[in-house]
Amino acid sequence: MAKNLLYAQSGGVTAVINASAAGVITTAREAGERIGRVLAARNGILGVLRETLVDTAGISDDDLARLRATPGGAFGSCRFDLDPAERNPAQYDRLFAVLAAHEVACFLYNGGNGSMETCRQIQAEADARGYPLTVVGVPKTIDNDIVHTDCCPGFGSAAKYLATSVREVGLDLAAMTTSGGRAFVLEVMGRNAGWLAGACALAAESPGQAPHLILLPEVPFDEPAFMARVREVVEWVGSCAIVVAEGLRGPDGQILAMQRENKGYIQLGGAGEVIADRIASTLGYKVHYAVADYLQRAARHIASKTDTAQAFAVGKAAVRRALAGSCGVIGIRRISGHPYRWRTIQLPFEKVANLERKLPPDFIAKDGFGVSDDFRAWCRPLIAGEDPPRFVDGLPDYLHLELPLEPARLPGWQP
């Protein structure tokens, strides 16, 4: 009997999350009669609860190719955590009513470590209720903080964009002269893990090139030592480029800067400005700062070919695992570094859900202001290769997906 499949996207999107969606849809179509309808929820698990679903059969083969090369989340994402089943059984009653109404036997959730906890919750409740459902987690996050996988789809492209930006701004800095010294600060994402900040180190081809200092969340900020290093770099090359992870912490372990808290999620931001202000006030240098923000996760025009291939592959593997009735999270295992070879694997939800992977000590420079050669060797293959989208009239030809909602089969839902 054909199985209907439901796919949804969750959390902060990436430049290649839609490549995973394309991998899911393409592989499901190749399965022929083994899969019936391939549905997608609008805005993640909220779309399931709201019963706002679309049928991906309306996506043409040409648009499917464009989908693979489009950033953002084509089906819409959300940040929403399910309650524990024992605390809110009505929430799960609604969830399984929607799944049953649309005869869904496979649920694929494309997200980070929090989304993998959602997968675990749904699979556990399906088993408890005797509902025939296979849940598979499709990984994505630019933060690269999912455990037990070599890397996360989305990271490689964000790393490539950031390293490229730092290399280019380094040339800009080197071109300008000033009698008083110059500094540039770039704030990048990374709440608790410095993978993206560390990746900026790939920009430097030789000592003295940007970035000169990298501030990681894993290393408490030592302001006197930092200022001394900034002064040394400026005296050496005339300017200093600094990369700051948004989750940088002081010696007391507290985040250096944050904007607000939104329904349990702390909105980070401002670490770059804080560091820039302190350099200006302490050393008297002219300082500019920038915040990469959404740019680093949306830059599909400079996506890594490796990253795109891995994003597509985890979507493909998720469908195959679901058809085999095997629940869990798809991961990536590095087989060799030179040449870089990898394959997909499957991990139990319990080994991934809500856990966080930080930079290991051997990936951090001994002085704490950057990353090691081991990190560079690990990271370099992940940004390799170019996979540009199609360009029309000088701009990327991205897909703006418009599919009609499936007719609702249940009454409306009130959270």
Which residues participate in catalysis according to the annotation? 143
Cα separation of 46 and 52, whole Å?
8
In the structure encoding, which two tokens stand for residue 136, read together? 């598979």
Q: What angle do CA 346, 351, 354 make, to 5 degrees?
A: 115
The token duo for 47 is: 């779309």
Q: For every residue of 22-46, which 3-state class applies, written as one string?
A: HHHHHHHHHCHHHEEEEEEECCHHH
Q: Which amino acid is at 353?
A: A
Distance CA 259, CA 274 (A): 12
For residue 303, what is the DSSP state? -
Could you tell me the strand order of the sheet in which 3-9 lies? 53-55, 35-41, 3-9, 104-111, 134-139, 328-337, 340-347
CB 125 within 8 A of CB 97: no
